[in-house]
Amino acid sequence: MAVISPILDNPLRALGVLIAAYLIYSVGKYTYRLWFHPLAGYPGPLLARVSSFWATSHARKLRRAHAIQEAHEQYGTVVRVSPNELSFSSPAALKDIYGHGQGLPKADFYKAGKFTTEDSVFSVRDRGQHAGRRSLMAKTYSQGSIWGYAPLMSEKIVQALDQLAIRSQGGTQAVNVYPWFHFLALDVVFHFTLNHESGTLRTGEEHPIIRELEAFQAAFAWTALLPPIRSIGRFLPWATVREPFTLLHNWIEFCVEIVRRERGNDKRAAVMTSLTEKPDTWLRRKLTDVEVAEELLAIMFAGSGTSANTIVFLIWSVVRDKDIYNKLKAELRGVAPDPKDVPDITAANKFPYTNAVIMEALRRFPTIPGSQPRIAIDDDLVVDGHKIPRGTVVGVQNYSIHRDPGIFPDPERFIPDRWLGSDTSKQRAAFNGFGTGPRACIGRNLAMMELQLVVPSFFRRFDVGMAPSTTDADMVMTDGFSGGPAGKSLNLYLEESR
Ligand code: HEM
């Protein structure tokens, strides 16, 4: 006490002691992380090795995946991207992290991926709990069930293309197709989950849920940075923080209300039936209204922007390359005599060049571009030959593995032919657009069907020209966990084809 009281008596001296203590603590922490941490031997940007600030600052600028890719180009296939996180970029790592047995559990990062206070199949981290929830829905997402939904999806595609045709006035007016493919993708998942149409395709007016979906991205980013903000965000005085959480709250209320209403409806959507009828094997009871709503919210988020942005990037890539455009048009003229036809899904599944274009769009523009972080829970984990300490966060980001020049030569170029050779097994082993293993995309069949129906229908129906108002900067991919074009616009001239 005799030593402390002269310090406490003098506020300036007390402040100096506090600052000195903080500096000593920080120097100690950074020295440990740099030289004595179990990951100290891994290369990476200096700031990333001592602090998570490097990764979070790039995340806030929506370019975390790009920064990590630059680090891979500089340091190789394994990079330390945070004091406790390694990013890998090899097919072997894909198998080691996501593929084997049950795969590694998702990292705490996914806690931010909850809409309500409950977990969904997307956010849940426990492997047993995940298996229970996923098995409830697996049949609804099988290819057989999804293909049964093709006629309804085709109707929606015709609605969307008709709206584009009206707005393009015979090819004389540039049309921004970006919102229309978002309306379409949203209406598809809306109908799939809620058995209702959102109305946007008929009226051309944005459904409030579109803004609410966008708001979730901002809320997700804030929550990943500062978890407690999730419960207080909508009461805060700052509009930039308050607004996304308020919109998110409205969206949750809307979904819970629909679940309450739909439970007793014998014409409810198949996904709703699968979530409400049988007990969850892990919980050993049926799901509550909020738990069902959480699943629906997750599906709408995971299944709309991802598909829509893939379509937008694909169209842009095709229209700017005359050879690819002509090859695609030639294939489609050969298979669909009527330009206004939406093809049958069993036929569309086999259009060779169209499917190569789709694969190349999913490779070049993976709409989940960043790492899908997992946690090492055992002491004996080996990833691509590296022994990984327990507790380390590990991941492979699609933005990087899809740009491996050894597997995809000239990776920045859009080259559908790379999917058409006699042996494409190397490319397919490195393709991770829908994830790998037990946590891979449950909606893959729905997304693929959407791409396989939209792409031929759009390019068969229209002769397409790029409007000069579309710039390369508009089409730079942002990474806000899901990736999209920065400018949120793709302006095109669309003339009815013959
Ligand atoms: C082109 C479109 C799509 C792409 C590129 C895509 C990609 C992915 C990827 C990479 C994952 C793994 C994420 C992770 O581990 O963090 C994932 C998971 C998931 N996706 Fe998709 N997705 C698409 C469309 C859809 C659709 C249409 C739905 C639903 C209707 C959907 C629902 C989900 C769900 C629920 C998960 C979590 C699965 C689990 O953890 O068991 N996705 N998706």
Alpha carbon distances (Å) from 36 to 30, 79, 319: 10, 17, 53
Residues that constitute the known binding site for heme? 441
Low-confidence stretches of the chain (pLDDT beneath 70)? 1-4, 100
Supply the pLDDT for residue 442: 97
Nearest to 93 by CA among 481, 361, 388, 408: 388
Supply the pLDDT for residue 203: 85
Strand 477-480 to strand 85-88: parallel, antiparallel, or no bridges (unpaired)?
unpaired
Phi then psi for residue 107, to 5 deg, are -80, 170
Supply the pLDDT for residue 230: 83
Measured from the CA of 106, which atom of ligand 1 is nearest? Answer: 15
First to last CA, the chain: 92
Supply the pLDDT for residue 3: 61
Strand 85-88 to strand 393-396: parallel, antiparallel, or no bridges (unpaired)?
parallel
Supply the pLDDT for residue 330: 97
- DSSP track, 270-337: HHHHHHHHSPBTTTTBPPPHHHHHHHHHHHHHHHHHHHHHHHHHHHHHHHT-HHHHHHHHHHHHHH-S
| Sheet containing 85-88: order of strands | 78-82, 85-88, 393-396, 374-375
Using CA positions, which residue lies closest to atom 26 of ligand 1? 303
Whether the Cβ atoms of residue 206 and residue 200 lie closer than 8 Å to each other: yes
Ligand 1 centre distance from Cα of residue 367 (Å): 10
Nearest to 214 by CA among 253, 250, 167: 250
Q: Is the CB of 368 under 6 A from ligand 1?
A: yes
In three-state form (DSSP H/G/I as H, E/B as E, the rest C), the secondary structure along 209-252 is: HHHHHHHHHHHHHHHHHCCCHHHHHHHCCCHHHHHHHHHHHHHH
Ligand 1 centre distance from Cα of residue 46 (Å): 33
Using CA positions, which residue lies closest to atom 15 of ligand 1? 372
Ligand 1 centre distance from Cα of residue 18 (Å): 48
Q: Is the CB of 189 under 6 A from ligand 1?
A: yes
Q: Is the CB of 124 under 6 A from ligand 1?
A: no
- DSSP track, 70-135: HHHHHH-SEEEEETTEEEE-SHHHHIIIIISTT-PPBPGGGGGG-SSSS--TTT---HHHHHHHHH
Measured from the CA of 130, which atom of ligand 1 is nearest? Answer: 41
Q: Is the CB of 89 under 6 A from ligand 1?
A: no
Mean pLDDT, the chain, rounded, equals 93
Ligand 1 centre distance from Cα of residue 299 (Å): 8
Measured from the CA of 110, which atom of ligand 1 is nearest? Answer: 16
Supply the pLDDT for residue 282: 93
Residue count of the chain: 498
Q: Among 374, 441, 453, 477, say which to mutate for ligand 1: greatest number of ligand atoms within 8 Å of CB.
A: 441
One-letter amino acid of 59: A
Residues that constitute the known binding site? 441
Supply the pLDDT for residue 493: 98
Q: Is the CB of 181 under 6 A from ligand 1?
A: no
Rounded to 5°, the CA angle 389-390-394 comes to 75
Give kind and range of the element (H or E) at residue 483: strand 482-485
Q: Is the CB of 434 under 6 A from ligand 1?
A: yes
Ligand 1 centre distance from Cα of residue 301 (Å): 9
Ligand 1 centre distance from Cα of residue 307 (Å): 10
Measured from the CA of 193, which atom of ligand 1 is nearest? Answer: 30
Q: Is the CB of 448 under 6 A from ligand 1?
A: no
Measured from the CA of 438, which atom of ligand 1 is nearest? Answer: 41
Measured from the CA of 295, which atom of ligand 1 is nearest? Answer: 35
Using CA positions, which residue lies closest to atom 14 of ligand 1? 372
Global pTM reads 0.94
- DSSP track, 286-303: PPPHHHHHHHHHHHHHHH
Q: Is the CB of 439 under 6 A from ligand 1?
A: yes
Using CA positions, which residue lies closest to atom 37 of ligand 1? 122
Structure tokens at 164: 């584009």
- DSSP track, 144-187: HHHHTTHHHHHHHHHHHHHHHHHHHGGGTS-EE-HHHHHHHHHH
CA distance 173 to 495: 10
Q: What is the pLDDT of residues 106-141, one digit of tens each?
A: 999 998 888 888 999 999 999 999 999 999 999 999
CA distance 296 to 299: 5
Ligand 1 centre distance from Cα of residue 441 (Å): 4
Nearest to 184 by CA among 212, 155, 208, 213: 155
Ligand 1 centre distance from Cα of residue 370 (Å): 13
Is the ipTM beyond the 0.90 threshold? yes
Measured from the CA of 450, which atom of ligand 1 is nearest? Answer: 27
Supply the pLDDT for residue 4: 67
CA distance 207 to 221: 23
Supply the pLDDT for residue 100: 67
